Structure 1
Amino acid sequence: MKKIALIFPGQGAQKVGMGKDFYDTFPVSRIIYDQAGCWLDMDVCSLCFEENNKLDITRYTQIGLLTTEIAMLKAVEEMGIVPVVTAGLSLGEYAALTAAGKMSEEDAIRIIDKRGQYMQEAVPTGGSMAAILGLNLKIIQKICMETTGIVEIANDNCPGQTVISGETEAVVRVCEAMKAAGAKRVAVLKVSGPFHSSLLKEAGDRLAPELEKVQWIDSPIPYVSNTIGELIREKERIAPLLVRQVSESVRWQQDMKVMTAMGVETFVEIGPGKTLSGFAKRIDRKLSCISIETVKDLEKMEALLC
């Protein structure tokens, strides 16, 4: 079998109906949705499968998306797929931790509920995010540092795509400076707060005692931390990094380089959309990527078992 990395998207990938065909097809997937509903005393199936006004609210987005990713993961695992490493973008890191065998599905879903709640409650008035396309990361960092107010790098996704986060007025000023500096496109994102910025530090601090309750598991499969862009094998390092992850930059481009350096031959993105596969191709067009979004997509996995 080829060296496989399992990767999981973050907030923004969610959509109504996600995972419904997995729920209908695989008992292992159905169990995850049903158990998530019991663990959280919530109708998680309706949240994910039916039109509603909650799915784009941070707390519920995180519950629905993580449950879906884990439900899809269980179907992939039933096929005999064993990764050499895992990684996930922001909340996707919790799916990566379960895929690496470092935390249980129940702990992951219970924690993501708290994470989403604390992030939603910590959102200050006047915070926003924006995507900057076609501008060098060092130039973006310099402009952010020279701008009055709080505005920081939230995501280094891939070459030519960076996300900034902070106080709305500061973000607006930075966006204008980015355009003047030659950015191909500047787009304010439709999000409910300045995620992955220091303005969310309170949410990470509140999450810390919840993470201390998790029964972390020793496992041979490493995952790559968003926060420091390094392989993590020791369970003792996980909780402190997840606390920092809430308010620090996501180093996704570095995560991908770490996995490529391990000799990963195929990246398998599990979850709605193809965002991470798109990032991978911009990092290196020669990278092999598979997106698992529907049951039909599982047919692509058969070649990996040869």
Structure 2
Amino acid sequence: MNARLLILCPGQGGQHAGMFGLAAGDADGAALLGGLRARTARANPPYGDLAAEVLFANRTAQPLIVTATLAMWEALRKHAPPPALVAGYSIGELAAWGVAGALAPEECVALAHARASLMDRCLAQHPGQSLLAVSGLAPQRAAALAAPHGFHLAIVTGEDSCIIGGPASGGDSAATQLAAAGARITPLPVEIASHTPLMAGAVEPFAQALRASGLRAPDTPVLSGISAARLDSREQAVEHLSRQLSETIVWDECMDACAEASITVALELGPGAALSRMLQARHPAIACRSVADFRSLDGIRAWLRRHCG
């Protein structure tokens, strides 16, 4: 059976100061980073000057993550077979459309800036937001217990794990009630309640930004985070990328859709390795790694050759 490659594009949470290092060691990756730096110098900090407040502030984290993801793909794509599918988690879904050839890198990063700005505007209207990772309870049960405290189901990651988002002022009381029901709760280093109704005000403005962009049909199908459907048109990209700002991401269904598409190999472009680890745990027959697992580009390329031929 021929290898079928899935490319995974991460969301926020795994970013770190050295996340551009591997891609910068490749001529193509370095050229892309240099070009993006020149075009976005006013909006992006230097890639070598990434303090924690820059890495995790929403307005800079989103474009930096997209930049790192696209640069890594640029460094690797000549050494990989054409992907059968691309999937992205939260902001990673925007990067996924760039990896799939539907957006030029500079426009993809510009849209990441626009997305972050629109979400920050929603935060200003509803100050003090938070995301909590919940495990040990069915997602719908967790959502029902947290709802009286203003929380909504943001991302479903498994049968007994999810992320909820809502007002920071209700976080302690929601966590107490969830813990009493047997759940484990971990606050996430994200200041925006993404994928909840608190972001509804950003949906149509972001759809307008997408329509005004050079977005086109992708070369490779992209999974929708809110439906796990395979998307292959500009119109679908506009609808799903905008709607996911305020709707629940069904990442568990996305992982199952990858298995149903007969994916045999999955590579997460980083930063971080959360997506590859979740997929490996849920579908162990798929060979999964993240670029974060390797010390060199040669190591990643050798792994791709071994599993993809």
TM-score, with length taken from structure 2? 0.90
Q: Which residue of 1 aligns with 2:305?
A: 302
User: Does the alignment pair 1:35 with 2:35?
Assistant: yes
SS at match of 1:103: coil
Contact (CA 8 Å) 2:5, 2:308: kept in 1 or not?
no
- Number of aligned residues: 301
TM-score, with length taken from structure 1? 0.91
Once residues 305 and 189 of structure 1 are traced to their aligned partners in structure 2, the CA distance between those partners, rounded to angstroms, is 35
Q: Per-residue deviation at 1:220?
A: 4.4
Once residues 222 and 302 of structure 1 are traced to their aligned partners in structure 2, the CA distance between those partners, rounded to angstroms, is 23
Q: Which residue of 1 aligns with 2:193?
A: 194
Q: Which amino acid aligns with 2:69?
A: E
Q: Per-residue deviation at 1:116?
A: 1.3
SS at match of 2:56: coil
SS at match of 1:55: helix
Q: Which residue of 1 aligns with 2:12?
A: 11
After TM superposition, the structure 1 = structure 2 runs for residues 127-276 of structure 1, keeping only pairs within 5 Å, are 127-144=129-146, 147-183=147-183, 185-276=184-275
Once residues 43 and 235 of structure 2 are traced to their aligned partners in structure 1, the CA distance between those partners, rounded to angstroms, is 33
User: Does the alignment pair 1:21 with 2:28?
Assistant: no
Once residues 244 and 170 of structure 1 are traced to their aligned partners in structure 2, the CA distance between those partners, rounded to angstroms, is 25
Q: Which residue of 2 aligns with 1:49?
A: 48
Gap change, CA 1:248 and 1:28, over 3 Å in 2: same
Q: Per-residue deviation at 1:45?
A: 7.0
SS at match of 1:64: helix
Gap change, CA 1:56 and 1:220, over 3 Å in 2: closer
Contact (CA 8 Å) 1:33, 1:45: kept in 2 or not?
no
What residue ranges of structure 2 are gaps of 5+ in the alignment? none
Contact (CA 8 Å) 1:292, 1:298: kept in 2 or not?
no
Once residues 285 and 163 of structure 2 are traced to their aligned partners in structure 1, the CA distance between those partners, rounded to angstroms, is 24
What residue ranges of structure 1 are gaps of 5+ in the alignment? none
Gap change, CA 1:178 and 1:149, over 3 Å in 2: closer
Once residues 214 and 192 of structure 2 are traced to their aligned partners in structure 1, the CA distance between those partners, rounded to angstroms, is 30
Contact (CA 8 Å) 2:265, 2:308: kept in 1 or not?
no
- Deviation track 1:189-231 (CA, whole Å, cap 9, x = no partner) reads 2321222211111222332221111222234421101122211
Gap change, CA 1:26 and 1:42, over 3 Å in 2: farther
After TM superposition, the structure 1 = structure 2 runs for residues 285-296 of structure 1, keeping only pairs within 5 Å, are 285-293=284-292, 294-295=296-297, 296=299
